[in-house]
Chain A
Amino acid sequence: MADSPDRRAAFEAEAVPHLDAVYRFALRLAGSPDAAEDLVQETYLRAYRAWEQFTPGTNAKSWLFTICRNVFLRQRERGQRHQEIVERESPRELAQGVGNLVNPIWSSTNDQDPEGQFFDSIVDDEVLRAIDALPEEYRTAVVLSDVEGLPYQEIAEMMGVPVGTVKSRLFRGRRQLQKVLHDFAVEMGYIEQRSSEVG
């Protein structure tokens, strides 16, 4: 069956404008520009072939992110084994995690930099390295929420997990990232280590 011009036009209007966002996401998943470009191309090819499955009026960006992550996870399955995260998701443990309300970073910096301005001093490459070092489940949640601004519900559907799990992954991912950047800032002398409680 030949593709109609309408089909192609609709795809170009709805899906192609999200190319920058999909590439940004793919780069954090795949790690290198070459691998990210391959991932983006595969994502768009699959999306185009499956275009009839897209529901008009829903978020095309989320739909593309879902395809992109599925392609990435399938490629990874064929490649080397990866580190599985240990999900601590019993309500009690989740409450304990979220119950740790005062950010440990803040306990360390509150007398010298309470508003966390040290984050500004850190070079972008170091931040990207720290993001890439997160387990994929945390990395995806943090990128989709903090950078792409997707609602919890959409991230949950994308990742095939309950909203509570998304919240837990965001909490742990953000805290882990903050700790790495805090330790880097201490190492670089942007802030002094005042507390041994960060850990």
Chain B
Amino acid sequence: MVMDTIRKMLGGDRGGDEITCMEALEQIYDFMDGELEAADSAAVQKHFEVCTACYPHLKMEENFRRKVQSAMARAGTPTGLRDRVLTLLDEGESEGEAPE
């Protein structure tokens, strides 16, 4: 396998829970998105904590995500939308709409 060869080249055959830079970067989104099993997630987290080359990559992705979240949070729901939706449901009921 090509990956095994690369892992050996990068000194990844150390056993235990250590992973290579390549493996960490490959899984960066799976890690941030909470899609990894606990043991894999812990291994990736540990790599980012100790690897000075990879750490800024994670910080950059985190800064990017925080910005997307804060920009999206600014768009508040219009005043009264909840009431208008509830009124709409009342009207739907009075029209005697049977559920499909």
Contact = CB atoms under 8 A, between A and B. Distances in A.
Interface string B17-59: 0000010011001100111000000000000000000001101
Contact of B89 (A45, A142, A181): A45
Contacts of A124: 70-71, 74
- By DSSP majority rule, is chain B's interface helix, strand, loop, or mixed? helix
Interface string A163-177: 000010011001001
A110 B59 CA distance: 12
A118 to B, nearest CB: 8
A50 interface: yes
Given A24-B72, A101-B22, A115 B67 contact: no
Given A131-B68, A146-B68, A45 B92 contact: yes
A106 B99 contact: no
A11 B88 CA distance: 13
Contact of A171 (B29, B76, B99): B29
Nearest to B33: A145
A174 B29 contact: yes
Interface string A146-165: 11010110000000000000
A56 to B, nearest CB: 15
A122 B64 CA distance: 10
B60 A11 contact: no
Interface of A: 1-3, 8, 11-12, 16, 19-20, 23-24, 27-28, 33, 37, 40-41, 44-45, 48-53, 98, 101-103, 105-106, 109-110, 114-117, 119-120, 122, 124-125, 127-128, 131, 142-143, 145-147, 149, 151-152, 167, 170-171, 174, 177-178, 181
